[in-house]
Amino acid sequence: MKFYGKARIKLSKSPPEEFLEELTNIVSKLNEETLLRGVKNPEDGARIISFSFKDDVITFEIESGRLIPVHTAALRIKNFLLKILGMHYKIGIRELTLESPKVILNGELRINIDIPIIEEIASSNGQTIITLKPLNESLLQKPIFQRLVDLITEKEQRKQWGGKIEHWQKIKESQRKEIKFRDDPNVILEEIGWISNVAPGQWLFTPPFAHILRKFEEMLIDIILKPLGFMEAIFPKMEPISIGLKTGHLKGTPNQMIFASIPRSYNIEEFEPWQDYVTIYNEANPDFLKSFLESPKYYLCFAQCPPFYEFLSKKVFTEKHLPIKWFDRSGPSFRWEGAGGLRGIERLVEFHRIEIVWLGTPDQVIEIRNKLLERYEYFMDKVLDLEWRWAWVTPWFLVHAGETEEMGDKIDINQPGTIDFEAYLPYKGSRDDNKSWLEIGNISIHGAKYTRAFRVQHASGSVLWTGCSGFGVERWVLAFLSQKGFERDSWTKTVQEYIKDLPSGLEAANYPSPQYLNLKRAIEEKVGIKCE
């Protein structure tokens, strides 16, 4: 990446001859020292390639490398001149403008950035040149130019990543387990009326299924979280968009988030036209409703852990306060999955998750993650007897935050990054097909990504890290039922102990559909419900 621009400096009056004679020396000094300060390789610094003057205006044509972008160079030149002009000639500087600023990239890239300071983006002769509108000093002082450079760098890196969200590498897997069941539990659960669809990706769970979900949560808490000292907290489920700005979700995943709007007014009289409309038409018209609402200032719980970071924000910790180990299971998360591809409880818009969060020194955060992994493995293998695999996924957001890099064949998991937990779903087909595997949870070390963004501090000034892990309750239950089926005898001892006294599913004259009534009763008998 290279830069180009013309720094136009307007003085308080025309300078005398002797200053103009000195200018060549000044430029040499700038080129040899000031514009190379802090860089090892002169290519990365900046240089003045020509200069000219007319009346009270001096113009410097600048070329620069990666480390001293042209806006920084322009400001350095101005500050340097200010001293000499002020001290020796009593002349001030009225105005600094950077004209024709250009960012020059290798390769003919198809970069698309639609922001007002960009004049033109052109590709030719193996280069891409982004030309900006002239920037005045206040724009040069702001981090806008730097952010533009960061944005372009990000877009370039992203292309090299192939546009993927993450890179996947298997790190561990269970033994193959004997598969006794091949049916699709999503279909059965709906047929027997244990779950009922409300809207795309949203279901009502009747008491027997709700009971199973709650028991899975209880097992996780008793077997993994309590022994490791995690304590329950309650996080809000509607978050101000300012939190999503700090975590990066607002930028990274706006296409998957569900936003919420509050009413424009608390005064019911202002809703009179709406009330009249509803009275006459009896229609839930979203377009008309919109005019009574504010723009969205919130989003519904998405990643579940962000309120934790917001809470930690600006707090200062010492050794005795650390680590912090909490979990939240106080409500659902929402993830818009697009119009297609939703299937039963496999892919949901509204789902339940136990979100496990921790804060500590880097060593503490790694150790906690490792202990959690040990317990998770025991849970998957011995408690549920699942066929599972783990993958090291290098998420784009951590690479971009500079917390991690993509790794080669040898993976070191004791650093920022994410491990996905996947379970085999026999009803999907062969194990060799990646589509037959479902992500049921994950565990991440974020490094300082969030402690930096939310300014969470250690009194000693040393760095703090965070970690989080999501246990997607519906998906764990689905994985279990997919592999073990509805036969109580096929379940492990622990699951049998936890899931007893299962309530019977609801029956009405037309629910579940009469053709499935016998199936419902047969399944309820198999899982151990006594049918009345």
Residues classed as catalytic = 305, 335, 337, 347, 355, 420, 439, 442, 468, 475
3-class DSSP state for residue 213? helix
Separation CA 457–CA 310 (nearest Å): 13
Q: With contact defined as beta carbons under 8 Å apart, do 85 and 5 qualify?
A: no
Does 253 engage in binding with ligand SER (CB under 6 A)?
no
Q: Which stretch binds Zn ion (CB under 5 A): 99-107, 215-223, 453-461, 464-472?
A: 464-472
Verify binding: residue 420, ligand SER, rule CB under 6 A: no
Q: How far is the CB of 258 from Zn ion (least distance, A)?
A: 17
Q: Which does 464 bind (CB under 5 to 8 A by kind): ligand SER, Zn ion, none?
A: none
3-class DSSP assignment, residue 164: coil
For Cα atoms 361, 365, 370, give the angle at the middle one, nearest 5 degrees: 150
- Binding region for Zn ion (CB under 5 A) out of 293-301, 373-381, 392-400, 468-476: 468-476
- For the bound state, the minimum distance from the C-beta of residue 459 to ligand SER, rounded and expressed in Å, comes to 28
CA gap 301, 285 in Å, rounded: 25
The reply on whether position 468 binds Zn ion by CB under 5 A is yes
Does the protein bind Zn ion through residue 477 (CB under 5 A)? no
Ordered alpha helix ranges (H), 253-325: 272-281, 286-290, 306-312
Q: Which of 130, 152, 305, 386 binds Zn ion (CB under 5 A)?
A: 305
438 binds Zn ion (CB under 5 A): no
Nearer to ligand SER, 135 or 393 (CB): 393
Cα separation, 169 vs 390, in Å, equals 8
Select from 188, 305, 391, 419 the one that contacts ligand SER (CB under 6 A): 305
Which range of residues in 60-68, 226-234, 299-307, 424-432 is near ligand SER by CB under 6 A?
299-307
- β-partners of residue 8 are 59, 97
Whole-angstrom distance, CA of residue 136 vs CA of residue 95: 8
Residue-by-residue DSSP string for 5-33: EEEEEEESSPPPHHHHHHHHHHHHHHHHT
Q: Closest Cα partner for 72 from 34, 100, 113, 23? A: 34
Contact (CB, 8 A) for 352 and 301? no
Q: For ligand SER, which stretch binds (CB under 6 A), given 176-184, 300-308, 401-409, 496-504? A: 300-308
Cα separation, 479 vs 403, whole angstroms: 32
Query: Phi and psi (nearest 5°) for 220?
Result: -60, -45
* Residue count of the chain: 532
Tell me whether residue 109 or residue 213 sits nearer to ligand SER (CB atom). 213
301 binds ligand SER (CB under 6 A): no
Q: Which does 36 bind (CB under 5 to 8 A by kind): ligand SER, Zn ion, none?
A: none
Residue 239 binds which entry of Zn ion, ligand SER, none, with Cβ cut-offs from 5 to 8 Å by kind?
none
Point out which span in 211-219, 365-373, 416-424, 461-469 binds Zn ion (CB under 5 A).
461-469
Nearer to ligand SER, 64 or 394 (CB): 394
Binding mask 334-373 for ligand SER (x = CB under 6 A): -------------------x-x------------------
Identify which range of 56-64, 103-111, 130-138, 303-311 contacts Zn ion by CB under 5 A. Answer: 303-311
Q: Judged by CB under 6 A, how many residues of this single chain contact ligand SER?
A: 8
Q: How far is the CB of 249 from Zn ion (least distance, A)?
A: 10
Spatial distance between the Cα atoms of 505 and 293, rounded to a whole number of angstroms = 40
For residue 267, CA distances in Å to 197, 263, 276, 295, 305 come to: 35, 9, 15, 18, 34
> Considering CB distances under 5 to 8 angstroms, the limit depending on partner class, which of Zn ion, ligand SER, none binds residue 442?
ligand SER
Among 442, 451, 482, 483, binds ligand SER (CB under 6 A): 442
Rounded CA-CA distance 468/507 in Å is 41
Closest CA to 212 of 481, 490, 482, 517: 481
Q: Which is nearer to ligand SER, 68 or 468 (CB)?
A: 468
CB of 345 to ligand SER, least distance (A): 17
Give the residue at shortest CB distance from ligand SER: 470
384 near ligand SER, judged by CB under 6 A: no
**Is residue 472 helix, strand or coil?**
strand
**Cα–Cα distance, 83 to 79 (Å, whole number):** 7
Give the C-alpha separation, 333 to 338, whole Å.
16
Residue 194 or 450: the one with the smaller Cβ distance to ligand SER is 450
Are 331 and 351 spatial neighbours (Cβ–Cβ below 8 Å)? Answer: no
420 binds, options ligand SER, Zn ion, none, Cβ within 5 to 8 A by partner type? none
Q: How far is CA 286 from CA 275, 291, 294, 511, in A?
A: 13, 9, 13, 31
Q: Contact residues for ligand SER (CB under 6 A)?
A: 303-305, 353, 355, 442, 468, 470
Q: Contact residues for Zn ion (CB under 5 A)?
A: 303, 305, 468
